[in-house]
Amino acid sequence: MSLTAKNVTTENCRVKRRLGLLSSVSFIVGNIIGSGIFISPRNVLAKTQSVGLCLVTWVLCGVISMCAALVYAELGTLIPKSGAEHAYFMKTYGSFVAFMYVWTQACAVMPGSMTVKALTLSEYISEVIFDGCGPSPNMKKIIAITAIVSVAITNCISVRLAARVQIFFTFVKLLGLVVIIVGGIWWMSTGKFGSLVTGFDGTTNDVQDVALAVYSGLWAYDGWYVITRLHIHKRLQNLPLAIVISVLLVTAVYLLVNVSYLAVLTKSEFLSSWAVGVTWAEQVISPAVIFIPIVVICSVYGSSNGASFTNSRLLFQAAREGHMPEICSYIQVHSLIPLPSVLLLTTLSVVYMIPAEIASLMNLLNFLGWLFYGMAMIAVIVLRWKMKDAKRIVKVPLVIPIFVLLISIYLVVTPFIQDPKVEFLYALAFLGAGAVVYIPVVYFKLSIPGMASLTRAGQCLLEVVPTQIVKDEDL
């Protein structure tokens, strides 16, 4: 019997797998499609310097994302546990690497990513509501914090509400992108092809610029990994199917949207725009130009909702392994939501808002993200040997994880060589701090003074209880 405000027993308290195929696809697509497709196109074109190579780069980024997602599909069906990379790293490398992963995710990547999305949303809300002068930076941060809190409230009420919100905003953002695609087709039907006619003219011959273009494109695709953090109904069947459907859909949409952008705008208009989608709308649907900022707002909000839902599940699973505070492994007795995990990540996201600067946060997130993506690619190779007799629902050719591993090595190493920034030192500091915390707290299992009292107080206040550990065959 666990202590709660109403003496509720923990019997049959567990996180249920209630997301079907449609909801799973909505969470993946909703998490991938955020502000990236409205921001990254300019950076990709600026680095490739030609329309032809720009479009090839978007396809290449889709291929890389699909390859990485298929590797995660193999890992997710081979080790059918919630917790994604944390569970894979536990099986492959052991406790230390798994802890380091969840430490960086909880302390840097997840709250930092939520902060970036909230600040981007705030920028577009400011464009819609305020005049040319706009609000002050502090007011923008207040708007961003309000968005973070509203997402948290949605995810604290019920899984069903979070899923319905995700489906709605995914539909809205896809509708907006379809409008851009159809608008481009109509534009071309009138015989206007904008910068598309330039083809590969002016293509850069600098390999580093091409790599940086891929880097920008991959930021727009980031989010394909969330499926392995979800509680999915019929996991072994729906997980690989949801990944393939989602990444193919996003790749097709991104390519067609860029074709539409390039069919309407000249290269100079494209590169000088603060938001390519808005500039496109000014020429094609000028009376309804406000439509695009609204679509971006819905897109980023939906992405934030999906991130909050999936990130809290990762933290919840890590806490069950003793790698996060015990209370993060508890769920709310009525909603069966890992409420403490949601609240902790929300609090950290708000704290990050105080010194927040989008460009610096993005550098930090990209570095740490691709560091552990590379570790996941190594994991699938190692598990081919450690679990060689295990049944694999999905089994990718080894060339695929090796290919993605090489990409991740380049993206992690290159910044230190080409353009070292202070954010990369912060990343190393996070890793070092994690190693220091691991030794006494996890390895020697020393209790932090006062933590037990805080846990009991949290149980009474939030009405949360420990979960029943579910056997692998029940997942």
Domain-embedded: residue 379 = yes
The CA distances from residue 16 to 29, 230, 341, 436, in Å, are 22, 10, 16, 35
At residue 9, the pLDDT reads 47
**Cα–Cα nearest to 34, from 206, 287, 208, 224:** 224
Domain-embedded: residue 9 = no
**Cα–Cα nearest to 464, from 344, 368, 377, 335:** 335
Strand-pairing partners, residue 197, are: none
Which string of DSSP letters, residue by residue, matches 90-117?
Answer: HHHT-HHHHHHHHHHIIIIIHHHHHHHH
What gap in Å lies between CA 211 and CA 199, rounded to an integer? 20
At residue 122, the pLDDT reads 87
Gyration radius of the chain over CA positions: 22
Farthest CA pair distance, the chain? 73
Structure tokens at 435: 């190693």
Residues 379, 93: contact at Cβ < 8 Å?
yes
Domain-embedded: residue 459 = yes
> Residue 304: which domain range?
21-466
CATH code where residue 153 lies = 1.20.1740.10
What gap in Å lies between CA 458 and CA 340, rounded to an integer? 8
At residue 468, the pLDDT reads 57
Domain-embedded: residue 248 = yes
pTM of this structure: 0.83
The number of folded domains in the chain is 1
What gap in Å lies between CA 208 and CA 197, rounded to an integer? 26
pLDDT along the chain (475 residues), means of 10: 41 58 82 80 90 95 92 88 82 94 90 87 80 76 92 90 87 88 93 90 85 84 78 76 90 94 91 82 85 86 86 88 90 88 93 76 80 94 92 90 93 75 81 92 86 90 75 37
Residues 113, 348: contact at Cβ < 8 Å?
no
What gap in Å lies between CA 242 and CA 202, rounded to an integer? 39
pLDDT per position as a tens digit, 180-216: 999 999 999 999 998 999 989 989 888 778 888 888 8
Q: Would you tell me the crossing angle of helices 110-129 and 137-157 to the nearest 10 degrees? A: 120
Domain-embedded: residue 121 = yes
Domain-embedded: residue 340 = yes
Alpha helices by DSSP H, 79-206? 85-92, 95-104, 110-129, 137-157, 159-189
Domain-embedded: residue 442 = yes
Domain-embedded: residue 13 = no
Alpha helices by DSSP H, 225-357? 235-264, 267-272, 276-284, 291-320, 339-352
pLDDT per position as a tens digit, 8-47: 444 555 555 557 788 888 878 877 887 778 778 888 999 8
What gap in Å lies between CA 260 and CA 187, rounded to an integer? 8
Burial of 158 (0-12, 13-18, 19+ CB in 10 A): middle
